[in-house]
Amino acid sequence: MMSPAGRLTRRQWLRGVGLVAGAAVAGSALDACGQAASPTAAASAITLHFAPNWQGAAWNATALSLNQQWFDANYRVKGVRVQVHERVQGLATQQIAATIANSGFMDVFQDCCQDLVAWRDSGLLLPLDSYMQQDNVSPALWSRRHMQVLNYGGQQLALPAYDGPCTVFYRQDILDGLGLSYPNPDWTVAEMQKAAAAATGTSPQGQKRIGFYLLNNAWWGQINWLLAGWGASEMNADATVALMDTPGAVQMASFLQDGVRGGYLSVGGGVTALAEGKSAFQMLGGWSLYPAATQLGSSTKWDILPMPLFPAGRSTFDNIDFYAVNANTPHKEAAWELLRFVTAEPEYQRWQIKVTLIQPCLLSLWDEWEADIKAAAPPLQQKQLGWIKDAAVGGYAWPNLFFKYNAAQVDNLLISFIDQIWNGQLSPQLGMQELTQQINALQQSGAAAPPPAGFAALKQAYAAEQAGVTRMFQHAARH
């Protein structure tokens, strides 16, 4: 499966996986990559427009072709055809505007991150509780915390698309070269700090090496998991009161500041930084397995560790990618059946695992996932993938949450204050106290305005939030 350069192209990867996945990605599907999807033979009374979860936006032509052929062959609900479209993620405001204008929109779609707030506040997410009850679909099928962030006002507004809890990918060869032992999986946060400090320095090629890169990006809205590691909470149960001025939260902020002052902790990085020797330890999600298999491969000595034991126990970040039904769909029952098919039934997820290495959302599929990944990807056969599964089923993977009111403004406050604490411009105690007070002031004021009814207002709110995220990415690039 490996190319002469030691890396897999997308087409090589798919052809290799085809040997494992069988008819699901047979040669005819691969040969059709980039071509128009063939229509189904049977006439359908209903066409559902569906934007799937497909990791890898750079190969959308391949993704669309394979998905369309798969649904044409495998989705057998009488009178319904699934038309596959490019993913919605990052385009929430455009999709909401299209729905409001009745100018074309997705019936069922995948999305993520801050888009959840735009969809939530627009009122265009179909509540799913009655559908789940009528079909006896238990919330226990999925991660409890992933379900939590998708529940708003006591209503389940979406279901998980996949779980991608973070673990630590690390360069064993770098530790070998420094005469350092590999951490035990039960390592504590103090041991992590010691190992990261010892691995910080200059590579043999003369480039700066940071011991530990925290998170896969610099969006401080993701600190919910880190607060949980210190026994703290970001907010109360109904998401209207900030609780980030507690002793545990201040200790968490001190951990960040101490790491920067010590030179061993940074944010960003990713698989490329690890492959280039710019870091020894990198916090990465399960979505990083494909790039790790291709960039680190079998020639580099590396492996996977769980996140360390924090003062309150193991804790790590998990994504919030979700599937939802557009509340304006004229085919609510049919759309629910499709949503149930991709989230609560195993068939489609099994195919996704084999083709993309993506993790399941169903907790029951994790053992199959690990076996399939090791069969499909030789560079991952000896890696400790079980720690990714452990974080998912062990209940210590935390998604980021959103406050009830003025969520975009709150995210900007988080970015600003944690960035200042991180850079030593604010003390952890005073910074977290002021941050909490300002967030609570926004929550006490209630919603700043009724849910926006049009594209312009949504776009303005979303742009403000994205500007804050961009500033943090720029900060990560500078550091």
Structural contact between residues 401 and 242, judged by C-beta atoms closer than 8 angstroms? no
Structure tokens at 112: 């993520």
Please write the tens of the pLDDT for every residue from 70-85.
Answer: 999 999 898 999 999 8
Last residue of one domain, picked from the residues 353, 385, 417: 385
Last residue of one domain, picked from the residues 352, 385, 418: 385
Do β-strands 155-156 and 316-317 pair in parallel, antiparallel, or remain unpaired?
Answer: unpaired
Last residue of one domain, picked from the residues 350, 385, 420: 385
pLDDT of residue 255: 96
Residue partners of 438: CB distance under 8 A and separation at least 6: 413
Of 388, 391, 351, 390, nearest in space to 372 by CA: 351
Given a cut of 60, whether residue 235 has pLDDT beyond it is yes
Q: Is residue 217 part of a domain?
A: yes
Average pLDDT of 5-31?
36
Instruction: Tell me which residue range forms the domain holding 111.
Output: 10-163+319-385
Q: Is residue 75 part of a domain?
A: yes
Given a cut of 90, whether residue 259 has pLDDT beyond it is yes
Could you tell me if 46 and 140 lie in one domain?
A: yes
Could you tell me if 27 and 127 lie in one domain?
A: yes
Alpha-carbon distance of 83 to 355, in angstroms, equals 20
Q: What percent of the chain has pLDDT over 70?
A: 82
Q: Is residue 394 part of a domain?
A: no
Residue partners of 106: CB distance under 8 A and separation at least 6: 49, 50, 51, 85, 88, 95, 326
Alpha-carbon distance of 411 to 405, in angstroms, equals 11
Q: What percent of the chain has pLDDT over 90?
A: 59
Unique residue bearing structure tokens 């940071």: 210
Alpha-carbon distance of 336 to 325, in angstroms, equals 7
Could you tell me if 128 and 45 lie in one domain?
A: yes
Alpha-carbon distance of 360 to 95, in angstroms, equals 26
Q: How many CA atoms lie within 13 A of 426 on its CB side?
A: 18
CATH of residue 295's domain is: 3.40.190.10
Residue 140: band (very low, low, confident or very high) from pLDDT cuts 50, 70, 90? very high
pLDDT of residue 14: 44
Q: Is residue 4 part of a domain?
A: no
Could you tell me if 143 and 292 lie in one domain?
A: no
Cα 407–Cα 409–Cα 410 angle in degrees, nearest 5: 60
Q: Is residue 1 part of a domain?
A: no
Please write the tens of the pLDDT for every residue from 93-122.
Answer: 888 888 888 777 899 999 988 889 989 988
Could you tell me if 326 and 314 lie in one domain?
A: no
Could you tell me if 93 and 202 lie in one domain?
A: no
Q: Is residue 5 part of a domain?
A: no
Residues belonging to the chain? 479
Q: Is residue 154 part of a domain?
A: yes
Structure tokens at 400: 């980021």
Average pLDDT of 239-256?
96
Could you tell me if 326 and 291 lie in one domain?
A: no
Could you tell me if 243 and 292 lie in one domain?
A: yes
Q: How many domains does the chain have?
A: 2
Could you tell me if 244 and 127 lie in one domain?
A: no
Could you tell me if 471 and 363 lie in one domain?
A: no
Amino acid at 425: Q
Given a cut of 50, whether residue 13 has pLDDT beyond it is no
Please write the tens of the pLDDT for every residue from 373-394.
Answer: 888 888 999 999 999 999 999 9
Q: Could you tell me the pTM of the whole model?
A: 0.84
Could you tell me if 204 and 310 lie in one domain?
A: yes
Unique residue bearing structure tokens 């063939």: 38
Could you tell me if 196 and 158 lie in one domain?
A: no
pLDDT of residue 456: 56
Q: Is residue 2 part of a domain?
A: no
Cβ–Cβ contacts within 10 Å for residue 102, how many? 8
Of 110, 190, 193, 201, nearest in space to 150 by CA: 110
